[in-house]
Structure 1
Amino acid sequence: MNDDSRVGQVGESWNDTFATRAMNMPPDPVHMETYDEYPSKFSPLFFVVIALTVLSAVGSFASYKSGNTTWWLVLLVVTLLLLFALRRFPKPDDLKDIAYENGLLIPAIVIDTQPLTLLALADMRGQEDVDLVWGCLKLPVKQLPHHTIAIDEKVPCVSMFGMPGNGYWSIFQPRPVAWGYDDPALVKKVTESLTVDDVDDVDEWAVLRELKDAMKGAPNNKVIYFDAAFQQTDKP
Structure 2
Amino acid sequence: MAARWAEALLKLQTVDLRIRELETRLALLPKEMGTLKDKRDAAVAEVAAAANAAKKIELDRRHVESEIEKLNAENKKLQQQSSMVKKNTEYQAMLGTIALNEKKIGDLESRVLELMDEFEEAKKAYRKLKQNNEAAVNAIRAEFDELVAFAGDLKKEIAQLKAERPADVCGVDNETLARYNRLLAGKDGVPPLVKVENEICGSCHLRVTRQAMTNMQKGAVTSCENCMHFIYLDDAE
Structure of larger gyration radius: 2
Which TM bucket (shorter chain)? Answer: 0.3 to 0.5
- Larger strand percent: 1
**Bigger RCO of structures 1 and 2 (CA < 8 A, at least 6 apart):** 2
- Larger helix percent: 2
TM-score where L is the length of structure 1? 0.33
